[in-house]
Amino acid sequence: MNAPLTIAGVEFHSRLFLGTGKFGSGSLMHDSLAASGTQLVTVALRRVRTDGASDDLLAHLESNRYRLLPNTSGVRDRREAVLAAELAREALQTNWLKLEIHPDPKYLMPDPIETLAATEDLAKRGFVVLPYVHADPVLCRQLAEAGAAAVMPLGAPIGSNQGLASRAFLEIILAQRQVPVVIDAGLGAPSHAAAAMEMGADAVLVNTAIATAADPVAMASAFALAVEAGRKGYEAGLPSLAHEARASSPLTAFLAQGG
Amino acid sequence: MTFETLWRKHDFRSVADRIAAKTTADVQRALGRSRGNLSLEDLAALLSPAAAPFLEDMAQASHQRTVERFGRTMQLYAPLYLSNVCGNICTYCGFSAQNRVDRLILDDQAILAEADVLAKMGMQHVLLLTGESPRVGPDYLVHALRLLRPRFASLSFEVQPLDVADYARFSHEGMNAVMVYQETYDPDAYARHHLRGPKSDMGYRLQTPDRLGQAGVKKVGIGALYGLSDWRAEAWFVGLHLRYLEERYWRMRASLSFPRLRPHEGDDALALTSFGERDLVQAICAFRLFSQEVELSLSTRESALFRNHAFRLGITSMSAGSRTNPGGYAQIKPSLEQFTIDDARSPAEVAAFLRAQGYEPVWKDWDGTYDGQVVERPVVEAQPC
């Protein structure tokens, strides 16, 4: 068992967060979530009924088992994000929010300017904001100062399964983190998730790789193992990489003898 | 510049000839491209006769890329015809002005009766349609939006082409998308099939998606009505139009539809060009490989048998339980339908079929809040964690 992660005062024993989109059925999603051991699941506000009517997706989520993290997928600017957030808070009875503002429907790239402004506004309104952003070290610092409870930089374009394409920038973000860092988007294989955790990520969020696998339940379990192993490796203290062999007869050995 | 300027640079017949000349090597090159890197020449190859032997390969790749992007889900929607009054004479359409049939414009009571039926079916995404007439102009459409907005998550229009200011007004009132099919990109066929009325102005129609982009509309649906001219060239022009819109109005989402001509009132003399089910599958797969993110829609014009197989080849949304005449759901009074549907299954039956195939039918994938809808709700204070 890994050391727990705390975000906004809430403790998580699983460092694997899951998305709920793209599953072939509600029951498959339910079983995959269970197999992953996750405790935090993100739900697209656009997918759930917000008018009080019964909702098929929510019906498959055990509310006592998972903390819901509504996301604003589909909004294009800060104004829409705030409207969506207020609706999510009322409809889903949580002030936690995964802030997604991507005005570009092709690559779903997050808008840093609108995201920063919305984070500041939403934090003042009492939301626990987890913004989805580029792996931009300066932006992540600004978001923390603006009141983000955690930051969610992307590993690669969302849904691309390319893994840690932004590794060099993620390493900087992790080195100077002021709030937990959840690596989100692009993680296509359990090994990607393990690598993210070995780097020192506080958690990862996975959706496409699990939901679109031939066997989503088995893949959810595989990601759970990978996240736990990666975190354990990080906590155990990974040896640093050496690019050259170390000489067995060091040139400076004589210094130790002479003092 | 508008798309019309770009369109004028490409002669329809020359495009058809260029597609016909594509070779096996061209197809293989297109199939070998990495995701998101297919050019318009690659699209031409995938639409060409040379691609026919590769149809299964295209279908496999199209299925895979669709699942990666959209998952095993299918958006369901329904059309709601508000009126069949139309001032155009078009050879292929049941609403054509010369057809001597009862015309109907739904009033408030009838619109709400239709809405009740659709809501009971579970529909949350509704496409509002009319013929072209000043009697169903912007004021009527805004009124319909105001009536329906509290009842559905997403409202889209397929109505007469209008001006930028009209579209901006609709967006402000909660409209999410506009479908405006060019019918044909072949100027000769366009003139042959649009005999009278405002629709005979091909240029105004060609520029409509530009006006939507300028108005900041969130989503546009484009396409051709297959059967009016050479389908391969039509599809290529749709691709040209799609890429133009993606580059110029990058915030606007796009969807494509694949309407094929269906039997309708007054169609006896209509000479159709060939566009069979194999061709339709080739077009669907070619577009998915050309654009992994474009939404592809398949309507009840197609048979249940075809839809039951084609839905997994790249399609992301399907209509279900459609009525193509105003008042058709609540059966207010008999009225002219635009075309005869083929797949007559209820939405529940279509949803049950999708579930049995391992696909999740999605009734709601939008929220009126995103279109600025502010519902009167009690103020809720932030809850502590």
Sort A141 into a burial class: Cβ within 10 Å, 0-12 / 13-18 / 19+. Answer: middle
Q: Give the nearest partner residue to B71 out of A21, A87, A96, using CB atoms.
A: A21
Q: Give the nearest partner residue to A25 out of B67, B355, B363, using CB atoms.
A: B355
Nearest CA in chain A to B380: A90
Residue A129 lies in a domain: yes
pTM: 0.88
- Residue B369 with chain A: CB contacts under 8 Å: 45, 50, 80, 83-84, 87
Give yes or no for residue A231 having a pLDDT over 60. yes
The pLDDT-based confidence of A175 (bands split at 50, 70, 90) is very high
A50–B369 C-beta distance less than 8 A = yes
Superfamily of domain B3-366 in CATH is: Aldolase class I (3.20.20.70)
Q: What's the pLDDT at B383?
A: 42
B73–A46 C-beta distance less than 8 A = no
Residue A167 lies in a domain: yes
Nearest CA in chain A to B150: A51
User: Can you give the CATH number for the domain in which A104 is found?
Assistant: 3.20.20.70
B67 touching A (Cβ < 8 Å): yes
Q: What's the pLDDT at B275?
A: 87
| Nearest chain B CA: its distance from A253 CA (Å) | 54
B71 touching A (Cβ < 8 Å): yes
| Nearest chain A CA: its distance from B154 CA (Å) | 10
Give yes or no for residue B107 having a pLDDT over 70. yes
A159–B382 C-beta distance less than 8 A = no
| Nearest chain A CA: its distance from B77 CA (Å) | 14
Lookup: tokens for B98: 């010369």
A24–B360 C-beta distance less than 8 A = yes
A9–B68 C-beta distance less than 8 A = no
Q: What is the mean pLDDT of chain B?
A: 90
What ranges do the domains of chain B cover? Answer: 3-366
| Nearest chain A CA: its distance from B324 CA (Å) | 27
| Alpha carbon distance A55, A211 (integer Å) | 20
Q: What's the pLDDT at B373?
A: 63
Which helix (H) or strand (E) segment holds residue A80: the answer is: helix A78-92
| Nearest chain B CA: its distance from A88 CA (Å) | 10
Query: Tens digits of per-residue pLDDT, A90-132?
Result: 888 899 999 999 999 888 999 999 999 999 999 999 999 999 9
Q: What's the pLDDT at B262?
A: 66
Residue A120 lies in a domain: yes
| Residue whose entry in the numeric block shows the structure tokens 């054509």 | B96
Q: What's the pLDDT at B225?
A: 94
Query: Tens digits of per-residue pLDDT, B165-190?
Result: 999 999 999 999 999 999 999 999 99
Q: What's the pLDDT at B341?
A: 74
In the predicted model, what is the mean pLDDT of residues B93-121?
A: 88
A84–B369 C-beta distance less than 8 A = yes
Q: What percent of chain A has a predicted confidence (pLDDT) above 90?
A: 72
In the predicted model, what is the mean pLDDT of residues A195-221?
A: 96
Q: Give the nearest partner residue to A22 out of B71, B366, B369, using CB atoms.
A: B71
A58 touching B (Cβ < 8 Å): no
Plot region of A52 (φ>0 → left; ψ -120 to 50 → alpha; else → beta): left
Q: What is the mean pLDDT of chain A?
A: 91
Give yes or no for residue A47 having a pLDDT over 50. yes
| Alpha carbon distance A150, A6 (integer Å) | 10
Phi and psi torsions of B255, nearest 5° = -135, 155
Give yes or no for residue A88 having a pLDDT over 50. yes
Q: What's the pLDDT at A258?
A: 53
Query: How many angstroms separate the Cα of A245 from the Cα of each of A238, A240, A242, A256, B60?
Result: 18, 13, 7, 21, 48
The pLDDT-based confidence of B379 (bands split at 50, 70, 90) is very low
Q: What's the pLDDT at B350?
A: 95
Catalytic residues of A: 98
| Residue whose entry in the numeric block shows the structure tokens 């409207």 | A83
- Bridge partners of A64, per DSSP, are none
| Alpha carbon distance A156, A108 (integer Å) | 11
The pLDDT-based confidence of A158 (bands split at 50, 70, 90) is confident
In the predicted model, what is the mean pLDDT of residues A142-161?
A: 93
The answer for B 226-285 residues in CB contact with A (under 8 A) is 246, 250-254
Q: What percent of chain B has a predicted confidence (pLDDT) above 70?
A: 92
B380 touching A (Cβ < 8 Å): yes
Instruction: Look at chain A and report how many structural domains it folds into.
Output: 1
The pLDDT-based confidence of A257 (bands split at 50, 70, 90) is low
Give yes or no for residue A39 having a pLDDT over 60. yes
Q: What's the pLDDT at A57?
A: 82
The torsion angle over the Cα atoms of residues A43, A45, A46 and A47, rounded to 10 degrees, is 40
Instruction: Identify from A129, A212, A217, A219 which residue to disrupt to test chain B contact, counting B C-beta atoms within 10 A and taking the largest count.
Output: A212
CB pairs < 8 Å spanning A and B: 98
Lowest mean pLDDT across A154-163, A216-225, B8-17, B109-118 = A154-163
Q: What's the pLDDT at B378?
A: 38
The pLDDT-based confidence of B93 (bands split at 50, 70, 90) is confident
Q: Domain of A55? A: 10-258
The pLDDT-based confidence of A71 (bands split at 50, 70, 90) is very high
| Alpha carbon distance B225, A117 (integer Å) | 44
Lowest mean pLDDT across A84-93, B196-205, B256-265 = B256-265
- Bridge partners of B156, per DSSP, are B127, B177
A161–B370 C-beta distance less than 8 A = no
B68 touching A (Cβ < 8 Å): yes
Instruction: Identify the residue with better confidence: A65 or B188.
Output: B188
Lowest mean pLDDT across A78-87, B302-311, B329-338 = B329-338
Q: Give the nearest partner residue to B370 out of A8, A23, A80, using CB atoms.
A: A80
B251–A84 C-beta distance less than 8 A = no
The answer to whether B271 touches B229, Cβ cutoff 8 Å, is no
Phi and psi torsions of B288, nearest 5° = -65, -40
B120 touching A (Cβ < 8 Å): no
In the predicted model, what is the mean pLDDT of residues B137-152?
A: 94
Q: What's the pLDDT at B385?
A: 38
